[in-house]
Amino acid sequence: MAVLGRGLIDGLRVTAKTLGRRAVTEQYPDVQPELPPRSRGVIALMEENCTSCMLCARECPDWCIYIESHKETLPPAVEGGRERNRNVLDRFAIDFSLCMYCGICIEVCPFDALEWSPEFEYAELDIKDLLHEKDRLREWFWTVPPPVALDPAAEKPKEIALAQKAADKRITARKAAEIVALAEDSATEDPATEDPATEDTATDDTATEDTGGDG
């Protein structure tokens, strides 16, 4: 049989326990929350890094990324070279009403054109307004925090090791070429300069001829 007023007593007991504790309520929006440095707030775009490769749009599970581009022909970099074609980005939009914030588009981008921004205040009154174009995505890019520093005790990435090895090879080859060039310069003497030993031999021959004439 249930005791009359048991629920009220349990509620008062819980209230008494928490009455002396510090409140954890955040006074938002007057006080902004302290978010983790790599919070998944919104996806930002660096337009200059985008090559319109379509990897992000193809890998997106929700198909919420829309990209439009056209090709332009560039003149050859050197005289007699070939003309080059490049993709020019016309439109880059993300529909955040469909986005599931999985971050696959950021991971597959080979040129770091997409990054996570901690911005989260972009709610709209109409769901259609959650389709944001590249201008808005570009504004969010300036709020992207810098990357976390690497652990000094960690191993260097393979890319850095390979780049350092290639640089050392170039330096070694350059030094070897300089040594060979110096050796060739030393071996090649000025034609106007004669060997002193040759000059001494020529002087001795002249003196011998003079002595034979006097006899």
Q: What is the full per-residue pLDDT of the chain (215 aa) written as tens digits?
A: 556 678 888 888 888 888 888 877 888 888 888 888 778 899 999 999 999 999 999 999 999 999 999 998 888 877 878 888 888 999 999 999 999 999 999 999 999 999 999 999 898 999 999 999 999 999 999 999 888 777 788 787 788 888 888 999 999 999 988 888 888 888 776 555 555 555 555 555 555 555 554 54
Task: Decide if 32 contacts 48 (C-beta within 8 A).
Answer: no
User: What is the pLDDT at residue 162?
Assistant: 86
CA distances from 26 to 1, 62, 137, 166 (A): 42, 33, 28, 54
Name the residue ranges covered by the structural domains of the chain.
32-141, 158-207
Global confidence as pTM: 0.59
Model pLDDT, residue 140: 93
Residue 59: predicted pLDDT: 95
Architecture field, domain 32-141:
2-Layer Sandwich (3.30)
Residue 138, pLDDT score: 94
- The Cα 124–Cα 122 span in angstroms is 6
Instruction: Assess contact for 106 and 115: CB atoms under 8 A.
Output: yes
